[in-house]
Structure 1
Amino acid sequence: MKSTVEKLSPTRVRINVEVPFTELAPDFDRAFKEMAKSIRMPGFRPGKVPVRLLEQRVDKQAMFEQVIGEAVPGRYSEAVATSEVKPLGQPEIDITNKQYGEDLAFTAEVDVRPEITLPDLAALKIEVDPIEVSDDEVDTELQNLRARFGTLTGVDRPAQDGDFVSIDLSATVDGEDVPEAKTEGLSHEVGSGQLIEGLDEAIKGLKAEESKVFKTTLVAGEHAGKEADVTVKVNSVKERELPEPDDEFAQLASEFDTIDELKESLVEQVKRVKRVQQAEQIRDRALEALLEQTEIPLPEAIVQAQVDDTLHNAIHGLEHDEEKFAESLEKEGSSREAFDADNRTNSEKGVKTQLLMDAVADHLDIQVGQTDLTERLVLMSRQYGLEPQQLLQVLQQNNQLPAMFADVRRGLTIAAVVHGATVTDTEGTEIDTAEFFGPPNAEQPAEIAADDDDADDVADDSVAVEENAADDDVAADDTK
């Protein structure tokens, strides 16, 4: 077999493949043997018809076309393996010669990862916001802690923001009851906005045993998207009394003896949250800086697939009803035109980011090891509430291992980029990135570290994951 590659654009190639007819002999043998299993012929037992006899009686051209259908995928993969192209997605195959007795010829057009010229990674400068903790932020945390230890007391007055009420709800659409919207004894915090739109405004000012009718648009069920008349009845009103923020409260709510010690602990708690936010900002700005400094040709078919997938997910819950989707966007203050424009922009940026990270990973020779995959599996299993081995089976069944492998490699890549860059805050203070991106040359970022027990449970499985995912990664469409 011989193959050549034509570059059609920076992101698309045509692979021309010629397979000598004699090379297809093993494929013909397999096809005839399979046929012999099902052919019945007088004088021969089922499945025992000689292959040579079949060869004399079948339409050889028809058999050749059947062989072609089974042989082309393998020959395409072989051509890709011997070339330097890195395909994205599935190829468009065109059989250019399929005449029996002649060499098989076909072309395969496919999107490929473009060649990307990277900037000097060592010269990359990243500037982020400094970590500052205000008194108001600490007071908010203290208030939240007091609320956890608060008590609810019934009051004989109209409901207001912050009160807890017990309510009954019912709804009608065009005068007909909506059974799924009916509920009794529901507990709700006034002003939280956690239930249906317009509910909090209707409840405010109502006392126990009073009710009110208001209009709202249902968002779920058979009548989703329709305007309904909702009746809310208040059964009881309770206000939350908070404990005094003193030493006694500190001893009740924490391991500290004084309120000052508790507040110092809350300051550190806020700082920890802000350090996580700062790490996310470092990652995002590193990507932004690289994207700004790098020219990345876009494979249109891959971008369009991402656009289509996002649109499908957006309207799937609306039974793919375009009118309902337009109405939903209008209520959010948007439009279909704005949605499509944002979708296109976000898809292009997403594909650019993934192509860029893959190019950087190749440049830095980022390797994904067993430990990296094991820890990602353990982390994901906790998020989904599954055992690691069970999650691994799900990923294998849904062919998601290559995508997970690529995602882990990109995480290691951005960590390596950050380590090589100069990272400071806007005040000029250099930032130690090791806490969230791991020490330089570490096997994986620190934030995906796993417990030893869980890691041991899936270590053996991860060896197979690493081998299979690495093999599949190049051929898979990992820009989805």
Structure 2
Amino acid sequence: MKSTVEQLSPTRVRLSVEVPFDELEPDFDRAYKQLAQQINIPGFRRGKAPAKLIEARVGRDAVLSQVVNDALPGKYSEAVTEGGVKALGQPEIDVTKLEYGETFEFTAEVDVRPEIALPAYGDVAVTVDALTVTDEDVEEQLKGLRERFGTLKGVERAVENGDFVTIDLSATVNGEDVEDAKTTGLSHEVGNGQLIDGLDEALVGVKSGETKEFTTTLLAGADAGQEAVVSVTVGSVKERELPEVDDEFAQLASEFDTVDELKADLRERVEQSKKMNQASEIRDNVLEKLLELTEIPVPEKVVQAQADEQIHEVVHQLNHDDDLLAKALEAQGTTREEFESQARESAEKQVRVQLLLDAIADAEDVSVDQGELQEHILFQAQRYGMNPGEFIQQVQQANQLPSLFQEVRRGKGLANVVLEAEVTDSDGNAVDTKAIFEPEGDEADDAEADAAAESDADAESK
């Protein structure tokens, strides 16, 4: 077999392939065996008819077409390997010569990973928020701990922000009841904003047994996008009593004997959390800077395929109901055209990130061993709140192991850039990235790779 590669653009090539007829002999043998099992020829048992009779029955051209269709995927893959083509997506194949006994020829156009000129990593300079832990941060953590151990007490007054209430809800659209908006005895913390838009504002000042009406735009259900009149009736009203901050509380809420010890531990926890946030910010900012500094041609068909997939996922969730989609988009203040444009921008960003990180991983000759892949799988299982065994089973069934492998490889490549980038905080101080991303111990290295891979995945979704 002979093949040549023609560069059509930075992101697309054409493979021209010539296959000698004798190389198809194994495919012919396979085709005749399959056809012999499918047709009956008098005087021969099924599967035993000779090739000449089968050919006479179905036609030489039909046999040749089946042989070519069966052989094409393998010959295409062979040409891709021989040509060192980094193919993306599905090829467009055109058979240019097909005659019995003659050389079989075809062309295949396919998108490919472009050559990317990477900037010097030392030229990547970013700024992140300074890492500071204030007394207010510690008090906020202490307040959260007190709320966990707080108690609810009924009150005889109007609802205030932060109260816990039981409510009955109903709604109408154009005077008609909205069935899926009715509920009774619903518990709600006023001010958390987790229910209907405008509800918390309406509840403040209402007493037990009173009813308040307000208007809002429904975001889900058959009436999504419609303006509704919502009626809310308050049942019970309770406020949360917080325990006093003393040594007794410290012993109740922690392993410490004194409030001072508890506060010192909370300060350490806040600092550790802010360090993790800063590490994530460093990776995100370095990646954004790399995208800014690097020219990355994007393969059009790959981008469009990803955009179509994003759109399909949303439409599928709405049972492919175009009217329901239009209402949902209207409720969000956007249009179908803007929605599809945003999907296109998101897909292009994802593709650019993937191409950039793959180029870095190649340049750094990044490898991923079995242990790193397993650590990443466990990390992802925890991230999605799944049993590791069930997560692995789903990954294998969906053939997602190669994708997870790529996530780890891309994350490790990005980590290499981060270590060489110039990072300063908002106070103008240099940030020691090695102290953050190269702590002592193998477990820390594994965690770094997982966190970098997570940053990669998050960046692609933005």
- Residue 184 of structure 1 deviates from its aligned partner by 2.1
- Cα deviation code 1:385-413 (max 9, x no counterpart): 44434322322222222211111111111
> Which residue in 1 is equivalent to 2:455?
none
Matches within 5 A, 1:72-221: 72-221=72-221
- Residue 225 of structure 1 deviates from its aligned partner by 3.3
> Which residue in 2 is equivalent to 1:469?
none
Which sits farther off after the overlay, 384-393 or 360-369?
384-393
User: 2 CA distance for matches of 1:448 and 1:415?
Assistant: 7
Is 1:251 matched up with 2:248?
Answer: no
CA RMSD, Structure 1 to Structure 2 (Å): 2.7
Question: Partner letter of residue 406 of structure 1?
Answer: Q
User: 2 CA distance for matches of 1:123 and 1:226?
Assistant: 52
Which sits farther off after the overlay, 245-254 or 148-157?
245-254
User: 2 CA distance for matches of 1:428 and 1:201?
Assistant: 43
Question: Partner letter of residue 430 of structure 1?
Answer: V
Matches within 5 A, 1:239-388: 239-322=239-322, 324-336=324-336, 338-388=338-388
Which sits farther off after the overlay, 314-323 or 87-96?
314-323
Question: Partner letter of residue 103 of structure 1?
Answer: T
User: 2 CA distance for matches of 1:394 and 1:261?
Assistant: 45
Q: Does the CA-based 8 Å contact 2:303-2:347 persist in structure 1?
A: yes
- Residue 201 of structure 1 deviates from its aligned partner by 2.3
Tell me the TM-score normalized by structure 1. 0.86
Which sits farther off after the overlay, 431-440 or 213-222?
431-440
- Residue 213 of structure 1 deviates from its aligned partner by 3.0
- Residue 383 of structure 1 deviates from its aligned partner by 3.1
User: 1 CA distance for matches of 2:444 and 2:278?
Assistant: 22
Which sits farther off after the overlay, 1-10 or 318-327?
318-327
Q: 1:201 to 1:423 in 2, by over 3 A?
A: closer
Which sits farther off after the overlay, 305-314 or 193-202?
305-314
User: 1 CA distance for matches of 2:264 and 2:441?
Assistant: 32
- Residue 294 of structure 1 deviates from its aligned partner by 1.6
Is 1:399 matched up with 2:402?
Answer: no
> Which residue in 1 is equivalent to 2:69?
69
Which sits farther off after the overlay, 67-76 or 191-200?
191-200
User: 1 CA distance for matches of 2:51 and 2:318?
Assistant: 56
User: 1 CA distance for matches of 2:327 and 2:63?
Assistant: 55
Question: Partner letter of residue 63 of structure 1?
Answer: V
- Residue 446 of structure 1 deviates from its aligned partner by 2.1
Q: Does the CA-based 8 Å contact 2:408-2:449 persist in structure 1?
A: no
User: 1 CA distance for matches of 2:45 and 2:433?
Assistant: 78
Matches within 5 A, 1:459-478: none
- Cα deviation code 1:292-320 (max 9, x no counterpart): 22211111111112222223334443444
User: 1 CA distance for matches of 2:120 and 2:201?
Assistant: 56
- Residue 128 of structure 1 deviates from its aligned partner by 2.4
Q: Does the CA-based 8 Å contact 1:416-1:441 persist in structure 2?
A: no
Tell me the TM-score normalized by structure 2. 0.90
User: 1 CA distance for matches of 2:434 and 2:45?
Assistant: 74
Give unpaired runs (5+ residues) of structure 2: 452-459
> Which residue in 2 is equivalent to 1:429?
430
What is the aligned length? 452
Q: Does the CA-based 8 Å contact 1:98-1:105 persist in structure 2?
A: yes
Q: 1:438 to 1:303 in 2, by over 3 A?
A: farther
- Residue 178 of structure 1 deviates from its aligned partner by 3.6
- Cα deviation code 1:370-391 (max 9, x no counterpart): 0111111112223344443432
> Which residue in 1 is equivalent to 2:417?
417
- Residue 442 of structure 1 deviates from its aligned partner by 9.1
- Residue 268 of structure 1 deviates from its aligned partner by 1.6
Determine helix, strand or coil for the equivalent of 2:255: coil
Q: 1:135 to 1:387 in 2, by over 3 A?
A: closer
Q: Does the CA-based 8 Å contact 1:158-1:205 persist in structure 2?
A: yes
- Cα deviation code 1:408-461 (max 9, x no counterpart): 1111111122223344434323324454466699995424679xxxxxxxxxxx
Which sits farther off after the overlay, 261-270 or 372-381?
261-270
> Which residue in 1 is equivalent to 2:447?
446
- Residue 326 of structure 1 deviates from its aligned partner by 4.6
Give unpaired runs (5+ residues) of structure 1: 451-477
Q: 1:347 to 1:80 in 2, by over 3 A?
A: same
- Residue 170 of structure 1 deviates from its aligned partner by 2.7
